Chains A and B, each alone.
Chain A
Amino acid sequence: GENVEQHPSTLSVQEGDSAVIKCTYSDSASNYFPWYKQELGKRPQLIIDIRSNVGEKKDQRIAVTLNKTAKHFSLHITETQPEDSAVYFCAATPGSGYSTLTFGKGTMLLVSP
């Protein structure tokens, strides 16, 4: 089955800096890669996603890149703000027509004012 590795497990940045979180996946058939933000005590919220026919997608301060050859994808947050502090999860579908998600272990992002 699919295996998703996520790094780093924790990331501390100063407000205004950029943050990058990286994930790798194992199943070359995977074709959908969402990112979720989970604040303490809240539900995971979908913030951005990318499909395998696209190499990059941007939405305001967040962007995601995908390298299918290397089987890795990354989340980029620019001009970080304290409210970006949360746990971020990457995920991948296992492919083969399945839509279930395999999640990474998460990255705790702390943005200091």
Chain B
Amino acid sequence: NAGVTQTPKFQVLKTGQSMTLQCAQDMNHNSMYWYRQDPGMGLRLIYYSASEGTTDKGEVPNGYNVSRLNKREFSLRLESAAPSQTSVYFCASRITGSNQPQHFGDGTRLSIL
């Protein structure tokens, strides 16, 4: 009963390095999401994928790319990390086309030095 699994849980990068954050869900959900969470702010949507093979920009997509590898997996990539991308990143999933809520992973804590 894993739900949404994110790896790694923690990561420290130097400015300019690249990294891919992994997310997998075992609930057969169609939609998957990547959010970032910063102090004093609500979750902000980076990218989402309504179904396998489709991705769309959210509120704060700059500096990120995503890949919906298959129905289970949705990865987030930082090509050239910047200190402004220091944040906690959450992946979520839900059933598309319904009012069903999102289910979240435990987050990846990313620090860019």
Please say whether chains A and B are actual partners in one complex.
no
Binding site for A on B (CB under 8 A): none
Residues of A that sit less than 8 Å from B by CB: none
